[in-house]
Structure 1
Amino acid sequence: MNSYSAVNSYASVKVHSGVESASPHRLIQMLFEGALERIAQAKGAIAQKQFARKGELIGKAAAIVGGLQGSLNDNEGGELAANLDSLYDYIIRRLTQANYENNIEHLDECARLLGEIKSAWDAIAKDV
């Protein structure tokens, strides 16, 4: 087993064990962390001209954002849920555009937006 495979195996076990014991609030935090990590990795892949890897990572980030979007409760969330739905839709479109154009600035914008939402979500943990 090469070192890359070993690291991936360790990361997979770490994530699975973290998910099993996480609260619903922590699971959402983990989704934000995963999306931000994939975006950062995609920026590195663009810099290294690893375009296939970049596409894979941006696809994973978009899927995570889609999962966040799908977890919104329209009935109880009201205007906040509607605004987040629109924002997540925008982020997915910008990620797609970043993938197509190899545009790091679009990735930075997506990371900034997700980071702001994550910060708000993290602040909730202190109140819960």
Structure 2
Amino acid sequence: MYSNEQEGFGPYQQYDLAIQVAAASPHQLVLILFNGLMEELIRVKGHIKARRYEHKAQGINKCIDILNVLSSALDYEKGGQLAHNLANLYDYCVYRLYDGSNKLSVELIEEVESIVGNIHEGWSNMGNAA
């Protein structure tokens, strides 16, 4: 059964996130978005398995919103072909999320999770190299 035990921590988590965002570099902001996306994908899978369809729909919408923000932040002039490739991957992930949501498919959500995980790893490694 779904519990709301963590709801009491919501204001503290939001405050902590606000502090992180305020102090973050652009690179760190992207990592914060990826972390949130990865966490939400995990929740979506749990909602599908537990048949919490309203929560699943809300989670899918959050994931799509994050992917849209990531896509809109791409710099096509500086990023060139890489930026275009990332935009295509983000669009593909959005398509797969809609499909996974409609089919109630954990496997399609896991496909997105894998793609996003690889991109996230690349961003993380880029920060380590700097």
Alignment match, 1:26: 28
Separation (CA, whole Å) in 1 of partners of 2:99 and 2:68: 16
User: Mind listing any 5+ residue stretches in structure 1 that lack a counterpart?
Assistant: none
Instruction: Find out whether 1:51 has 2:85 as its counterpart.
Output: no
Alignment partners' CA distance in 1, 2:113 and 2:5:
28
Alpha-carbon distance, 1:9 to partner: 1.5
SS of the residue 1:72 aligns to: coil
Question: Who is 1:65 aligned against?
Answer: 67
Q: How far has the Cα of 1:104 moved from its partner?
A: 0.4
Identity %: 30
Aligned to 1:14: 16
**Deviation, structure 1 residue 14:** 1.4
In structure 2, the gaps of 5 or more residues are: none
Matched to 1:52, the amino acid is E
Match of residue 117 from structure 1: 119
Q: Which runs of 4+ in 1 moved over 4 A?
A: none
Separation in 2, partners of 1:3, 1:80: 42
Distance 1:48 1:3 in 2: 17
Could you tell me how far 1:17 is from its partner in structure 2? 1.1
The one-letter code of the counterpart of 2:126 is: I
1:81 maps to 83
TM-score by length of 2: 0.93
C-alpha separation in 1, matches of 2:10 and 2:63: 17
CA distance in 1, matches of 2:86, 2:49: 30
**Cα distance in structure 2, aligned partners of 1:5 and 1:34:** 17
Q: Distance in 1 between matches of 2:19 and 2:5?
A: 21
How many residues get paired?
Answer: 127
AA paired with 2:55?
Answer: R
